[in-house]
A and B are shown apart, each in its own frame.
Chain A
Amino acid sequence: MTEPRITLEVARYSPEEDDEPAFQKYEIPYREDWVVLDALNHIKDYVDETLTYRWSCRMGVCGSCGTMVNGEPKLTCSTFLRDYYPGTITVEPLANFPVARDLVIEMDDFMEKLQAVKPWIIRDEEDEKPVSEGEHLQTPKQLEEFKQFTMCINCMLCYSACPVYGLEESFVGPAALALAHRYNLDSRDKGNDERTHVVASSEGIWECTFVGECSVVCPKHVDPAAAIQRTKVATTKDWFKSVLMPWGAKS
């Protein structure tokens, strides 16, 4: 009885030699408990040492290994060969990003957008509680409000799934907007106004047409689509309030 095998077709791109990516076929041993990452590691260790890809934790928490597997954005460390066996598995770099080499994409745009939404606790100077006075009180209920949106591992699968980001590179994007929402909902934060010019801009939430694919592919169930729509509602409410009751203090 021969050992079972499986074929992977992996996109290769050499930035010094190629004009565009091309597929390379690898036929390797198949193991029932292997994930796509195990297959890539096997190829790199024993078949083709030049194969290049990102990975680290191999347990779905660091966000390094985002890749297109059979056309869907996935984490290679959490995608099992057995769900595709015996068919051929196509492995390509994450869609909607420039390809630096093989399966490695350029993430500069994403990193800039992450920073642009000011993802840190913003409070007034006078409000600053000294560390010696202990923690800000926050009830489990208050924590529950934004907890879901803290789970983003920055894997960028949502950017790959979003056709708007694919078509319009200036779109701030699902993960960054969900992170802004996380801070806006945090009872300790008062930075809503400071984030608004990036978040509620035409490249921010208003670029989103609620395709919803971002939430479908998110491996951590952050539901960035919900975060964006709720921000739209909140921003609109705030706008009405400021127009109809300009004398009132903004919440």
Chain B
Amino acid sequence: MNIPSHDVLIIGGGGAGLRAAIAAVEADEHVSVGIISKVYPMRSHTVSAEGGLAAVVRTDDDSLDWHAFDTIKGSDFLADQDVVETFVNEAPGEAVQLEHWGCPWSRDPDGRLSVRAFGGMSAKRTLFASDKTGFHMLHSLFQTSLKYSRIQRYDEWFVTSLLMEDGQVSGVSALDLRTGNLVAIPARSVIISTGGGGRIFPFTTNAAIKTGDGMAMAYRAGCPLRDMEFVQYHPTGLPGTGILMTEASRGEGGHLINNKGDRYLSEYIPGKMELGPRDIVSRAFVHEQRAGRVFEGPYGHYVHLDLRHLGESLIVEKLPFVRELTRNYVGIDPVHEPIPVRPVVHYMMGGVSTDITAKTPIDGLFAAGETACVGLNGANRLGSNSLTELLVFGARAGRSAVEAASGRAAPSATKLEELARAEEARIHDQFLSSTADSGERIADIRQGLQKAMEAGAGIYRTEEELSAACAAIAQLKERYAVVSVDDHSRVYNTQLIAALELGFMLDVAETVAHAALERRESRGSHSRSDFENRDDEKFLKHSLAYRREGEAPRIDYQPVTITRWTPEERTY
């Protein structure tokens, strides 16, 4: 395969990556755009999103300011307000653009886009495509991207590192899964849209591929990871598998019930009940659990998500996928029985630090989507803002990358080849040579990591537990350094990929644990039992984690941009 030099190279073919690619080719009719994805783009995790996409499309009973304030308050005032204002402004246009591209949005009888209520939103502004919004969005974007012949795709190519020249990004090193060849792909600008890293935890809604690859790559290249301590637990995942039960089921009127048969949220957020923001609803579960008011099952404790009172026809019309999932995986029909649910890890607010144009501190490097921390979600993300984020900042990243590329010279192919050969040697020496072989299994280290994260960096955290997690991760990294891969095949070596992903996961986990340790306050989804209150004086700022070779990351801070909304007490 002849590897061209791309103007814009996008790592990750999910919602943000595809949107960026389309934006790039539309911004300039001469740019060459590449999308590298370790899976075929239709498999990207965007596909699993269910609930909806928030945008102020109904201006008669909604306003941009309300959407902005809901988001900022939802973020526990850690969001950068200029970013939020831009976001709410551009959201409606992106939602309509996706409709023009064929997305089968659910409709009102008069033909207009339907909107529904969602957690933390003060007005109905969440567009939806039944309860498979992410699926329909991803397929609409992917199918639309097929129109553009200038987008070159590298399907099932695994990026192992960013290639740098003089502190600037000049391309990537990528492994073609089909042949096992490691190749340098030159690019004038690179966009990282590889999603989050939920798989560092044992119970997650996330797919297998969410291993934090792009975050770790940027981190290793010297880019700071911002606000990593903020990990969102979705209140309603199935126990055991972690499969997502969309927030829309609560948006449509579903109730959360404890083992006493009570809608327990009346004790915590009587104003919003089941439509409270996710961090608060998840914490409520832990309180109920401590009080012994939850059910016990083979996969731990759970509560009930009751949809029975919604009636069969509503469930069939608005929540058919939820019904399908519960029938298949729990053997329950939500029309007749309540669904067992518990909080599971769902989303990372933190990620590759970018500014409002999706640019990172590293020249030539951009990021968008869950992988990035643009400053939109702060300490807690509101449901249905993420799908919008993919479009708004994916598009911005595409346009920014095109602009940046026009100002940069093409990278030196020979230099990149050298770097690729070095990368190939590094991977071979670490995993495929017989010298370092502890005989340990990758699965064991991975599970050790997941256990450590659940124990130390869960919904409620303490100094002791977080320190233990940091120490555990350091130990796991040592064990990882001597693990080897049995599979020496060049074709579809998924064990090698798993080993590389584990390395990424360990890096991401260390930033989460250390940033959480240093944030001695409770804010949004980061809850410290030993520092129960929000401390705006000391901590109204973003954390930045910088990699240090052989040491714990350096944690620094960056102020929050405040424009119009003064931080206040966050009650619902």
B485 touches A49 (CB 8 A): yes
Is B47 positioned at the interface, with any CB of A under 8 Å from its CB?
yes
Residue among B107, B136, B147, B489 making CB contact with A150, cutoff 8 Å: B136
CB neighbors of A among B63-115 (8 A): 93, 96-97, 99-102, 104-113
User: Shortest beta-carbon distance, B86 to chain A, in Å?
Assistant: 17
Q: Which residue of A lies closest to B499 (CB)?
A: A49
Interface 9-residue window, one of A51-59, A166-174, A208-216, A222-230 = A51-59
User: Shortest beta-carbon distance, B274 to chain A, in Å?
Assistant: 22
- Chain A residues, Cβ within 8 Å of B487: 49-50, 52
Is A134 positioned at the interface, with any CB of B under 8 Å from its CB?
yes
Q: Which range holds the interface residue count of chain A?
A: 35 or more
- Chain A residues, Cβ within 8 Å of B243: 58-59
- Chain A residues, Cβ within 8 Å of B443: 44-46
B135 touches A137 (CB 8 A): no
Is A78 positioned at the interface, with any CB of B under 8 Å from its CB?
yes
Contact A139/B111 with A49-B487, A188-B102 known, Cβ cut-off 8 Å: yes
Q: Which range holds the interface residue count of chain B?
A: 35 or more
- Chain B residues, Cβ within 8 Å of A137: 110-112
CB neighbors of B among A22-47 (8 A): 33, 44-46
User: Shortest beta-carbon distance, B285 to chain A, in Å?
Assistant: 22
Is A234 positioned at the interface, with any CB of B under 8 Å from its CB?
no
CA A100 – CA B494 in complex, angstroms? 13
Contact A146/B104 with A45-B443, A49-B486, A62-B42 known, Cβ cut-off 8 Å: yes
Q: Which residue of B lies closest to A32 (CB)?
A: B298
A59 touches B325 (CB 8 A): yes
CA A102 – CA B106 in complex, angstroms? 41
A121 touches B101 (CB 8 A): yes
A61 touches B132 (CB 8 A): yes
B495 touches A120 (CB 8 A): no
Q: Which residue of B lies closest to A78 (CB)?
A: B328
Q: Which residue of A lies closest to B149 (CB)?
A: A115
Q: Which residue of B lies closest to A35 (CB)?
A: B329
CA A147 – CA B139 in complex, angstroms? 13
User: Shortest beta-carbon distance, A113 to chain B, in Å?
Assistant: 11
- Chain B residues, Cβ within 8 Å of A63: 42-43
Q: Which residue of A lies closest to B210 (CB)?
A: A56
B99 touches A136 (CB 8 A): yes
Contact A154/B42 with A61-B135, A120-B102, A131-B93 known, Cβ cut-off 8 Å: yes
Is A15 positioned at the interface, with any CB of B under 8 Å from its CB?
yes
A58 touches B99 (CB 8 A): no
B491 touches A15 (CB 8 A): yes
Contact A56/B207 with A100-B178, A120-B102, A121-B100 known, Cβ cut-off 8 Å: yes
B39 touches A16 (CB 8 A): no
Interface SS majority for chain A: loop
Among B109, B178, B240, max chain A CB count under 10 A is at B178
- Chain B residues, Cβ within 8 Å of A188: 100, 102
Is A140 positioned at the interface, with any CB of B under 8 Å from its CB?
yes
Q: Which residue of B lies closest to A42 (CB)?
A: B443
Q: Mark A109-146, 1 if CB is under 8 A from B, else 0.
A: 00100110011110000000101101111111011001
- Chain A residues, Cβ within 8 Å of B208: 55-58
User: Shortest beta-carbon distance, A125 to chain B, in Å?
Assistant: 14
Q: Which residue of B lies closest to A140 (CB)?
A: B107
- Chain B residues, Cβ within 8 Å of A159: none
- Chain B residues, Cβ within 8 Å of A54: 39
B146 touches A62 (CB 8 A): no
Among A150, A153, A183, max chain B CB count under 10 A is at A150
Is B426 positioned at the interface, with any CB of A under 8 Å from its CB?
no
Is B492 positioned at the interface, with any CB of A under 8 Å from its CB?
yes
- Chain B residues, Cβ within 8 Å of A58: 207-208, 241, 243
Is B209 positioned at the interface, with any CB of A under 8 Å from its CB?
yes
- Chain A residues, Cβ within 8 Å of B178: 100
CB neighbors of A among B512-540 (8 A): none
Is B40 positioned at the interface, with any CB of A under 8 Å from its CB?
yes
Interface residues of B (CB under 8 A from A): 39-40, 42-45, 47-48, 57, 93, 96-97, 99-102, 104-113, 132, 135-136, 139, 143-144, 146-147, 155, 178, 207-209, 240-241, 243-244, 321, 324-325, 328-329, 441-443, 485-487, 489-495
Please name 28 pairs of A and B residues whose Cβ atoms are closer than 8 Å in the assembled complex, sorted by A. A14-B489, A45-B443, A46-B443, A50-B486, A53-B494, A60-B328, A62-B42, A78-B328, A115-B146, A120-B102, A120-B144, A131-B93, A131-B97, A134-B57, A135-B105, A136-B99, A137-B112, A138-B107, A138-B111, A140-B108, A143-B106, A147-B104, A150-B136, A150-B139, A179-B143, A186-B102, A186-B104, A188-B102
